[in-house]
Amino acid sequence: MEAIENKVAEPPSEESILVEAARSGDIGAFESLVRRYDRNVFRIAQHITQNREDAEDVVQDAFLKAYQNLGQFQGQSKFYTWLVRIAVNEALMRLRRRRPERMVSIDEDVKTEEDSMPREIADWSPNPEQQYTQAELKDILGKTIQGLPPSFRTVFVLRDVEGLSTEETASALELSVPAVKSRLLRARLQLRERLNKYFKRRDGDTRP
């Protein structure tokens, strides 16, 4: 029985069927892929560009580019990881156009660890996000992540917001796994430090 099971090839995933159909010219199949991933691509694009119009353009351009280049997609990685790589490149290109005075690169080398060392050690209130309305919280989180270098916030959004694995993030960004881990640690620590002023336990907060 075991030997028979070993011979049975894994059935193609729904995604790979859609990709194959789209590659053969089925626009409806490609539309299904758009519906599946457009929200993710939009979030990633807005996190990187920090600009709504740019994010809209990135979503359109990334899907169009994916469609045009489906023939080059080998199926060795997941379609989504491949799409994310295209979207990240488009988003960084937009950011460079908007901020030509600043070098924007995913490969930027961070020479010091000082930027991420915790300076303020303060415990937070329980459920700190509940101290704010949804709109206030979104404003705080948006402003806070905007202060990170693009290479840090890109890694953070792929790993911690979109839930890609470290390996998938490395593949999407064409970085090594240690480089992803290093950026992720610094991104997490810097965000934590910056959120302290909003979330730290206030005097008189007696909840456990």
Interacting residues toward other proteins by CB under 8 A: 25, 27, 30-31, 34-35, 38-39, 42-43, 46-47, 55-57, 59-61, 63-65, 67-69, 117-118, 121-124, 128-129, 137-138, 141-142, 145, 156, 160-161, 163, 166, 181, 184-185, 188-189, 191-192, 195-196, 199
Strand partners, 200: 124
Q: At closest approach, how far in Å is the CB of 154 from other proteins? A: 14
CB of 15 or CB of 129, closer to other proteins: 129
φ, ψ (nearest 5 deg) of residue 124 = -95, 160
Strand partners, 124: 200
Q: At closest approach, how far in Å is the CB of 3 from other proteins? A: 34
| Inter-CA distances, 194 with 13, 37, 49, Å | 42, 30, 20
CB of 11 or CB of 117, closer to other proteins: 117
CB of 4 or CB of 135, closer to other proteins: 135
Q: At closest approach, how far in Å is the CB of 75 from other proteins? A: 20
CB of 96 or CB of 188, closer to other proteins: 188
Closest CA to 79 of 26, 40, 28, 45: 40
Helix (H, G, I), strand (E, B) or coil at 3: helix
CA-to-CA distance for 110 and 112, rounded, in angstroms? 6
Widest Cα–Cα separation across the chain: 67
> Do 160 and 188 contact (CB within 8 A), yes or no?
yes
CB of 9 or CB of 150, closer to other proteins: 150
Look up residue 131 and give its DSSP letter: G
CB of 70 or CB of 172, closer to other proteins: 70
Q: At closest approach, how far in Å is the CB of 30 from other proteins? A: 6
Q: At closest approach, how far in Å is the CB of 45 from other proteins? A: 8
Residues 6+ apart with CB under 8 A from 121: none
CA-to-CA distance for 140 and 175, rounded, in angstroms? 29
Q: At closest approach, how far in Å is the CB of 103 from other proteins? A: 22
